[in-house]
Amino acid sequence: MFKRSMKLFITQSLLILVIFSFAIAGELKVLAPIDGENVKSKDIIIIGKVSSDVKSVEVKGVSNEPVKANVVNGGFFAKVQLKNDDNKVTVSASDGSSVELNLKVNASSGFSYHPDSDEVLDCSSCHASPEKNGYAIQPAAPVCFECHDHNDDKKFVHGPVNMGICVVCHLPHGSDVTMFLRMDKKNLCSGCHSDLMSSHPSSDNKECVECHDPHSSDKEFHVK
């Protein structure tokens, strides 16, 4: 009982940290694309956040001249064009902080932007009142359900879904993994359920989602 309560406490604490990481703009951070990823096109948009008192960022190491982008309430995006193959890109803020990105152009497999992130570029479509909350979404689910079907209406609801924090499993700006997941499905599930996976009967290397619904199910253990 103690172990279960402790695990629940740790899980809830991690979820809270995820919320605050989106709610509070702090040191310069690039949200998309992520360092080390492949990208499908040379034309990309760098999305990030920084302290709200910073006025601008500059992107160097791209095929065109260094690109400057204004910071609005702690958030920024910069349209840039990469060179072929490997790229080392530096994003610098006017407060002296910087982030280095190593990106590789790979048309066949790579980072894909979430719709709106690279087409509309209207942050207000997902972020309400950025001038008040620094682009935070809390909870995320109502925003996600404006475009996506509800998946929280069955008897057993997965913890993050029940708490309305889709960003625990999905990256809202884009990802190089299918369904904009934070990582491949097996590693994503094992991050929280390693104890269950170690005692799970042989599954012939099937992915967890082949048998379990990661959002909600009418069957125990989220079995489909």
How does pLDDT run across 125-184, given as a tens digit for each residue? 777 665 655 666 656 778 888 888 888 889 999 999 888 888 889 998 888 888 899 988
5: CB partners within 8 A, 6+ apart: none
Q: What is the pTM of this model?
A: 0.73
| Phi, psi (degrees; rounded to nearest 5) at 26 | -130, -130
Cα–Cα distance between 40 and 137 in angstroms, integer?
28
| 194 membership: H or E segment, kind and range | helix 185-198
Cα–Cα distance between 214 and 189 in angstroms, integer?
9
How does pLDDT run across 7-22, given as a tens digit for each residue? 444 444 444 444 444 4
Cα–Cα distance between 101 and 84 in angstroms, integer?
15
Supply the pLDDT for residue 138. Answer: 58
